[in-house]
Amino acid sequence: MENKITSHIVKGIILSAISIVFAIVVYTFNLYEMSVLSYINYALFIGGLIYGGILFSNENSNNVTFGNVFAHGFKTTAVVIVITALYTYLSVEFLFPDMVDKAILISKKEMLKNPKMTAEMIDQSTAMVKKYFIPFALGGTIIGTGFLGLIGSLIGAAVAKKNTNPFENTAV
């Protein structure tokens, strides 16, 4: 009987769902300013990719290469990017339209801590953030998730057990 292999699409949907639920909890309880929560979300994503790589290797009876496991992890990342980018757009535009105002308020607080920032500079910055919030949010989601996915996929491919020997010369 052949092993059933869990698709990268299923793994991507699961990781996206975890990330989205996490984001909703942060939004609902106004936990934006607790930066440690971002690190927890990143760790969950990277950990999920590592576990997904190990699972992929085990489901293939460990007859995989580094490249196979890495490709599977990065395909999972691509699924997560698509779903979280879609969620980001929908949440900012329709579900939580006040998110932009909350983000501007937080950034304004941070700018006020800087003595070199004048009131005019702060107003210009907040106006620009408000105008370009969606492109910045989508760009940050795509680039950030892609970077974390690269790291998680590399680690997952490195730690997954493999029966193949990359140093073995099969050509004579």
**pLDDT per residue as tens, the chain (172 positions):** 467 889 999 999 999 999 999 999 998 998 877 889 989 999 999 999 999 999 999 999 999 999 999 999 999 999 999 999 999 999 999 999 888 888 888 888 888 888 888 888 888 988 888 889 999 999 999 999 999 999 999 999 999 999 877 666 655 5
Contact assessment for residue 133 and residue 102, using Cβ atoms and an 8 Å cutoff: no
One-letter amino acid of 96:
F
Distance CA 152, CA 48 (A): 8
Q: Which three-class secondary structure state does DSSP give residue 31?
A: coil
Total-model pTM: 0.88
DSSP 91: I
What pLDDT was estimated at residue 167?
Answer: 67
What residues does each domain of the chain span? 8-159
